[in-house]
C-alpha cells in the first residue's frame, strides 16, 4: 500500500501538560497504524498531545468506543472484515451507541467503491478521503479540523447541561431570604458547576447602604469554602493573602473582572448599590475550560440578582424590625420573636414599660436629645435583662420586654431590677436625667394567646397604673377588660329587633397611577345606629367577630356589594370590585357558597373581584386559609394583602403563597413626605413587590405631593381622599362621570 507522506519533520511544539486528545485508528492494515503513528508523532493541538487508540476491525473499534467515551476523532477504513464494515461502524456509533460527539473521518483504499457524495450525504461524518491522497500535512490538517469540531460540539453540550443546572440552581438561590443562606447556597452550586473543590469567597455588604454612604470597610465575607472557610462573617481585611484581598477590592471598586495568578474576582453588579464580588481560587483559563465563559457570566448574573433581592429583603427587615432611634427591636420584631417562642409551650411574660413625665423631658431638652435618652434607656434595659427573649421599643417612650415566665421571673423581682437599673441618672452632655419607669404585666400560662393580645393586656395594666397612680406597676386582670364589655354592647346592636343597626355598603375608588383612570372600587361596610349616627366600623367588625355574627354580615356584604357594583353605570368591564375578608369569616365552611351565590345572583364573574386579606391571616399558614385563597385564584379572582407593613411583615410568604399584590398601609403614605424612614419603607416595599411581580396599591393618598411620589416610584394603584371619600353607589355616579372626562385632574 502506498502512503505518500511527506518526510516527517521535527514538530516545533512543547509537550503538553493537559489531558491528551484521543484519536482512534480503525484499519485492518497494520502498516496504516504504524505510518499514522509516525505521521502525527509529537503533534499537539492547544497544548494537548495526541493519544492514538488502535483497532484492526470494526468489532475491535466497537469495544474501544464503548470503553472510551471521550474519543475525539476516529479515522475509519471503509473496507475491513466486510466491504461496508466501516460504514456499518459509523452507523453504529451514531445510532446504537448514541455518540453524537466523536468526529468521524472515513478513509478508503479503493477509490470509487462507495461514491463520496452519497456517503457524505447519508452519514454524519466530517471527511471522506482516499488513502493515497492523504499526505502527512493533509492528515494533520484533517485531524485538527475535526478536533475543532469536536471541541465545539462538546462545548455546546456542556453548556446545555450547565444551563440546565443553572435553571435548577437559580430557583434555589433566589428563594433564600437571608444573606448568609443565599451566599452559602450560591457557592455550593458553583462547586457543582465546576465539578471539583475550589477555594471560593462571596464578599459584600450585609445591608443596602444609605445614599452616598458606601464604606469599603463594611465589606464582609458572606460565605466561603475551602481554605477560606474560617473567614465567614469577618471583614474582608482579615484575609491574609494580599493578592486575593487586592483582587476583590479592585473588582468591587471598578465593578469589573480582576484576575491574578491566585484566582479571579467577578463583580456582583446590582441596582441598589449592594457592592459585592465572587472570588474563585482558579485561573481564568481553567475556569473557561471547566465551565465556559457564557455559563460563568450567566451564573454570576443570577447570583447578582439574588444578592440584590436578598439585600433588599434584609434592608426592609431592618427597617421593619430594628428601631432607628434605640437600636432595639421594633414592635413587628417583638411579634415575630413572641410567635417563635410561643410554640415551645413555655410560660411567657410580657412587660409593657413607659417613662413617667417623658413629655416634660422632651420639652426641656428637645426631640433630638430625647432620642438619645431613649437610646440610653434601651441600652440600660438590655444590660439589666440579658436573658430577655427580646426587648422592643413600641412607640414614643414605651418599651416591651418578653421574658420567660414562671418562678424564675417573679413580678416583684422584675420591678426591683428595673428600679435599681434607673437609680443612677442618665448623663447626656451637661444634663443629669433621672428616669422613673412604670410597668404593666401580662402572662401566658397554659392557654395559648397571641402576642397582640398579651401586649394589649399588658397595656391595659399599664394604663391602670397611669390612671390610678397608686404604684409603679400592675398585673393584668380580666376585670380590667372594659373593652370587652364595650364589644358586647356593640354586638347587641347587630342582633334583631327594633333597635337593630342598619347595614349599608359604601365604595371608594382605586385609580391607576399612570393615567388616573378607575381601576377598581373597594366595598366598605357602614353601620348606622337606630338614631341615624354612623358607628365606628372597626369596633363594629370586632364586635361581629367576637359574637360570631361576622359570617351573616359577610354574606350580606357579598350579596349587596356584588349587586350594587353590577348596576353601576359607566364602568368598563376592566373595572373590578375589592372586598375584604375577615380572618374569622375565612375559617367558616359556608364562605365558598356565600361568594358563589352572591356572584351568581349578580351575574358577576369572579375574575372581576379582588379579595383583600390582612397579613395576620398568613401567620399560622393553615390549610383552610390557603385552600380558600387558592380556590378564589383558580376561579379567576385576585388576592391582595391589605395594610401591608403594619402586621407581621414576614416577606417570605409573598412568593410562596397565593398572593397577587399588596396595599401599603396609609400610615406610611401619610407620613412619607415628612418622614424619611416612612419613605424608605415605601421605596423598599415597592422594590421587592416589583421584583416579585406583585401589584402595589398605595392607601391614604390625600395630597398631590403624595400622588407625585407614588407615580415616580411606579406604584400601580392609588386610593385615598385625593380622589374620593367612600360613597354610596348612588352618590358615585357623578364621580364616575367626572373620572371619565378627558383631561380631568384630581387635586
Domain containing 53 — which CATH number? 3.40.50.2300
Pairing between β-strand 695-698 and β-strand 661-664 as defined by DSSP bridges = parallel
pLDDT at 231 (0 to 100)? 85
Is the Cβ–Cβ distance between 395 and 358 less than 8 Å? no
Q: What is the mean pLDDT of residues 246-266?
A: 88
- Give the number of domains in the chain: 4
Asked if 336 and 462 sit in the same domain, the reply is: yes
Whether residue 403 is found in the same domain as residue 453: yes
pLDDT band of residue 80 (cuts 50, 70, 90) is: confident
Here the cell at position 620 is 399560622
Angle (deg, nearest 10), helices 411-421 and 367-384: 130
The model's confidence at residue 138, banded by pLDDT at 50, 70 and 90, is confident
Residue 2 scores a pLDDT above 50: no
Greatest mean pLDDT among 222-226, 510-514, 666-670, 681-685 lies in 510-514
Do the domain assignments include residue 170? no
Cα–Cα distance measured from residue 704 to residue 722, given in angstroms and rounded to the nearest whole number = 7
Q: Is the distance from CB of 679 to CB of 643 less than 8 angstroms?
A: no
- Domain assignment present for residue 440? The answer is yes
Question: Does residue 179 sit in the same domain as residue 104?
Answer: no
Which one has a higher pLDDT value, 272 or 612?
612
Closest CA to 36 of 81, 88, 1: 1
- CA 69 → CA 98, 155, 684, distances in Å? 11, 15, 52
**What is d(CA 60, CA 429) in angstroms, rounded to the nearest whole number?**
93
Whole-model pTM: value is 0.42
Question: For position 234, which CATH number holds?
Answer: 3.30.450.40
Does residue 440 sit in the same domain as residue 583?
A: no
Can you give the pLDDT at residue 482? 64
The answer to whether position 84 is within a domain reads yes
pLDDT digits (tens, 9 = 90+) for 17-37: 578 999 999 998 898 898 888
The H or E element containing residue 191 is helix 179-194
Q: Answer yes or no: are the C-beta atoms of 547 and 553 closer than 8 Å.
A: no
CA distances from 730 to 333, 502, 506, 725 (A): 44, 17, 10, 14
Q: Quick check: 248 and 240 in contact, CB under 8 A?
A: no
Instruction: Quick: pLDDT tens for 413-431.
Output: 999 999 999 999 988 877 7
Q: Write the pLDDT tens digit of every residue in 489-506.
A: 666 667 755 567 888 999
Q: Cell 461514491, residue?
A: 115
Q: What is the pLDDT of residue 130?
A: 76
Query: What is the pLDDT averaged over residues 221-231?
Result: 87
| Per-residue pLDDT band at 567 (split at 50, 70, 90) | very high
Among 220-229, 581-590, 707-716, 729-738, which stretch is predicted with the lowest mean pLDDT? 581-590
Residue 340 lies in a domain: yes
**140 and 262 in a common domain:** no
The pLDDT value given to residue 735: 92
Report in angstroms the alpha-carbon separations of 465 from 44, 354, 398, 421. Answer: 90, 11, 14, 20
Radius of gyration of the CA atoms of the chain, in A: 37
- Residue 566 pLDDT greater than 50, yes or no: yes
Residue 163 lies in a domain: no
Question: Which among 284, 319, 354 is the end of a domain?
Answer: 319
Q: Which CATH number fits the domain that encloses residue 433?
A: 3.30.70.270
For residue 168, the model assigns a pLDDT of 61
**Parallel, antiparallel, or unpaired: how do β-strands 638-644 and 609-614 relate?**
parallel
- If you average pLDDT over residues 202-208, what whole number do you get? 79
| Boundary of a domain, candidates 258, 293, 319 | 319
Same domain, 635 and 697: yes
CATH at 729: 3.20.20.450
Mean pLDDT is highest, among 95-99, 164-168, 306-310, 613-617, for 95-99
The pLDDT of residue 176 is above 60: no
Q: Which helix (H) or strand (E) holds 283?
A: none
Contacts for 363 with CB less than 8 Å, ≥ 6 apart: none
- pLDDT above 90 coverage of the chain, percent: 28
Find the mean pLDDT for residues 562-580. 94
pLDDT at position 4: 38
In a domain, 16, yes or no: no
DSSP string covering 657-711? SS--EEEE-HHHHHHTTT-HHHHHHHHHHHHHHHHTT-EEEE----SHHHHHHHH
Report in angstroms the alpha-carbon separations of 670 from 82, 178, 643, 678.
90, 30, 13, 9
Cβ atoms of residues 276 and 309 within 8 Å: no
Mean pLDDT of 375-379: 92
Residues 267 and 390 in one domain: no
- Does the residue 486 lie in any domain? no
Same domain, 364 and 275: no
Least confident of 11-15, 203-207, 211-215: 11-15
Among 50-59, 459-468, 718-727, which stretch is predicted with the lowest mean pLDDT? 459-468
**Domain termination site, one of 157, 190, 225:** 157
- For residue 8, the model assigns a pLDDT of 40
Q: Are residues 644 and 727 in the same domain?
A: yes
Positive/negative CA dihedral, 127, 133, 139, 144: negative
**What residues contact residue 519 under an 8 Å CB cut-off, 6+ apart?**
510, 511, 512, 574, 575, 576, 717
Helix (H, G, I), strand (E, B) or coil at 717: strand
Residue 352 lies in domain: 331-480
* Max mean pLDDT range (111-125, 405-419, 677-691): 677-691
Most confident of 264-268, 478-482, 537-541, 596-600: 596-600
**Which residue did the predictor score with more confidence, 290 or 686?**
686
Can you give the pLDDT at residue 683? 92
In a domain, 672, yes or no: yes
Q: What is the mean pLDDT of residues 127-136?
A: 75
Among candidate residues 552, 531, 527, 556, the one with its CA nearest the CA of residue 539: 527
Which residues are registered as beta bridge partners of 661? 640, 695
Residues 223 and 281 in one domain: yes
What does pLDDT average to over the chain?
82
Q: Report how far residue 403's alpha carbon sits from residue 55's, in angstroms, rounded to the nearest whole number.
A: 80
Contacts of 685 (CB under 8 A, 6+ apart): 316, 644, 645, 662, 664, 668, 696
Q: What is the dihedral of CA 151, 157, 162, 167, to 10 degrees?
A: 150
Asked if residue 731 lies in contact with residue 742, where contact means CB atoms within 8 angstroms, the answer is no
Residue 710 to residue 722: CA distance in whole angstroms = 13
Q: Are residues 427 and 513 in the same domain?
A: no
Q: Estimate the share of the chain in helix, then strand, then coil, as percent rounded to the nearest 5.
A: 45, 20, 35
Asked if pLDDT for residue 320 goes beyond 80, the answer is: no
Alpha carbon distance 467, 457 (integer Å): 15
Question: Which range (148-152, 207-211, 439-443, 608-612) has the least confidence?
Answer: 207-211
Q: Are residues 250 and 390 in the same domain?
A: no
Amino acid at each position: 500500500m502506498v502512503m505518500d507522506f511527506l518526510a516527517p519533520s521535527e514538530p516545533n511544539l512543547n509537550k503538553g501538560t493537559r489531558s491528551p486528545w484521543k484519536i482512534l485508528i480503525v484499519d485492518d492494515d497494520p502498516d496504516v497504524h504504524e505510518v499514522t503513528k509516525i505521521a502525527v508523532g509529537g503533534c499537539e493541538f492547544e497544548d494537548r498531545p495526541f493519544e492514538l487508540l488502535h483497532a484492526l476491525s470494526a468489532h475491535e473499534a466497537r469495544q474501544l468506543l464503548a470503553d472510551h467515551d471521550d474519543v475525539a476523532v476516529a479515522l475509519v477504513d471503509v473496507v475491513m472484515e466486510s466491504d461496508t464494515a466501516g460504514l456499518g461502524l459509523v452507523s453504529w456509533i451514531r445510532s446504537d451507541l448514541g455518540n453524537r460527539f466523536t468526529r468521524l473521518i472515513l478513509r478508503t483504499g479503493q477509490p470509487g467503491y462507495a461514491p463520496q457524495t452519497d456517503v457524505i450525504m447519508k452519514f454524519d461524518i466530517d471527511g471522506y478521503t482516499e488513502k493515497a491522497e492523504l499526505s502527512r500535512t493533509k492528515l494533520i490538517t484533517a485531524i485538527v479540523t475535526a478536533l475543532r469540531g469536536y471541541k465545539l460540539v462538546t462545548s455546546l453540550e456542556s453548556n446545555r447541561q450547565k444551563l440546565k443546572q443553572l435553571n435548577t440552581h437559580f430557583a434555589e438561590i433566589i428563594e433564600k431570604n437571608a444573606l448568609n443562606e443565599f451566599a452559602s447556597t450560591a457557592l455550593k452550586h458553583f462547586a457543582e458547576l465546576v465539578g471539583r473543590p475550589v477555594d471560593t469567597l462571596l464578599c459584600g455588604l450585609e445591608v443596602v447602604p444609605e445614599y452616598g454612604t458606601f464604606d469599603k470597610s463594611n465589606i464582609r465575607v458572606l460565605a466561603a469554602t475551602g481554605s477560606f472557610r474560617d473567614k465567614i462573617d469577618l471583614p474582608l481585611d482579615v484575609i491574609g493573602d494580599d493578592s486575593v484581598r487586592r483582587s476583590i477590592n479592585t473588582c468591587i471598586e471598578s465593578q469589573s473582572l480582576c484576575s491574578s495568578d491566585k484566582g479571579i474576582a467577578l463583580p456582583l453588579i446590582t441596582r441598589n448599590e449592594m457592592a459585592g464580588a465572587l472570588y474563585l481560587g482558579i485561573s481564568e483559563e481553567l475556569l473557561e475550560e471547566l465551565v465556559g465563559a457564557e455559563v460563568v457570566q450567566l451564573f454570576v448574573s443570577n447570583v447578582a440578582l439574588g444578592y440584590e433581592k436578598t439585600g433588599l429583603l434584609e434592608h426592609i427587615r431592618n427597617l421593619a424590625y430594628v428601631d432607628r432611634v434605640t437600636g432595639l427591636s421594633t414592635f413587628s420584631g417583638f411579634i415575630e420573636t413572641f410567635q417563635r417562642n410561643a410554640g415551645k409551650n413555655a410560660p411567657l411574660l410580657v412587660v409593657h414599660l413607659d417613662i413617667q413625665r417623658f413629655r416634660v423631658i422632651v420639652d426641656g431638652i428637645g426631640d433630638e436629645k430625647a432620642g438619645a435618652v431613649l437610646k440610653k434607656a434601651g441600652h440600660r434595659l438590655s444590660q439589666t435583662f440579658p436573658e430577655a427573649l427580646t426587648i422592643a421599643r413600641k412607640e414614643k417612650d414605651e418599651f416591651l420586654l418578653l421574658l420567660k415566665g414562671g418562678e424564675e421571673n417573679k413580678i416583684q423581682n422584675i420591678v426591683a431590677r428595673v428600679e435599681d437599673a434607673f437609680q443612677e441618672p442618665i448623663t447626656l452632655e451637661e444634663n443629669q436625667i433621672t428616669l422613673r419607669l412604670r410597668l404593666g404585666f401580662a402572662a401566658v400560662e397554659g392557654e395559648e394567646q397571641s402576642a397582640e393580645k398579651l401586649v394589649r393586656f399588658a397595656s391595659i395594666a399599664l394604663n391602670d397604673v397611669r390612671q390610678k397612680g397608686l404604684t409603679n406597676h400592675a398585673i393584668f386582670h380580666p376585670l380590667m377588660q372594659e373593652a370587652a364589655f364595650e364589644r358586647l354592647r356593640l354586638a347587641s346592636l347587630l342582633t334583631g329587633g327594633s333597635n337593630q343597626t342598619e347595614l349599608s355598603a359604601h365604595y371608594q375608588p382605586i385609580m391607576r397611577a399612570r393615567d388616573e383612570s378607575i381601576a377598581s372600587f373597594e366595598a366598605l361596610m357602614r353601620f348606622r345606629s337606630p338614631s341615624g349616627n354612623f358607628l365606628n366600623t372597626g369596633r363594629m367588625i370586632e364586635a361581629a367577630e367576637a359574637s360570631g355574627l361576622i359570617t351573616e354580615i359577610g354574606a350580606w356584604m357579598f350579596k349587596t356589594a356584588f349587586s350594587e357594583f353590577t348596576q353601576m353605570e359607566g364602568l368598563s368591564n376592566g373595572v373590578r370590585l375589592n372586598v375584604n375578608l375577615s380572618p374569622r369569616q375565612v375559617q367558616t365552611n359556608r364562605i365558598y357558597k356565600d361568594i358563589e351565590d352572591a356572584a351568581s345572583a349578580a351575574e358577576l364573574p369572579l375574575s372581576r373581584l379582588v379579595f383583600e386579606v390582612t397579613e395576620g391571616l398568613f401567620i399560622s399558614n393553615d390549610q383552610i386559609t390557603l385552600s380558600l385563597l387558592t380556590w378564589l385564584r383558580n376561579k379567576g379572582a385576585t388576592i391582595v394583602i391589605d395594610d401591608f407593613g403594619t402586621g407581621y411583615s414576614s416577606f417570605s410568604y409573598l412568593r410562596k403563597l397565593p398572593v397577587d399584590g399588596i396595599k401599603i398601609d396609609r400610615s406610611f403614605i401619610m407620613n412619607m413626605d415628612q418622614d424619611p424612614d416612612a419613605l424608605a419603607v415605601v421605596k423598599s416595599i415597592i422594590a421587592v413587590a416589583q421584583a416579585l411581580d406583585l401589584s402595589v396599591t398605595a392607601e391614604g393618598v390625600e395630597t398631590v405631593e403624595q400622588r407625585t411620589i407614588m407615580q415616580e416610584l411606579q406604584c400601580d394603584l392609588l386610593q385615598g381622599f385625593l380622589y374620593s371619600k367612600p360613597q354610596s353607589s348612588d352618590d358615585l355616579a357623578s364621580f364616575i362621570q367626572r373620572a371619565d372626562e378627558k383631561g380631568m385632574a384630581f387635586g
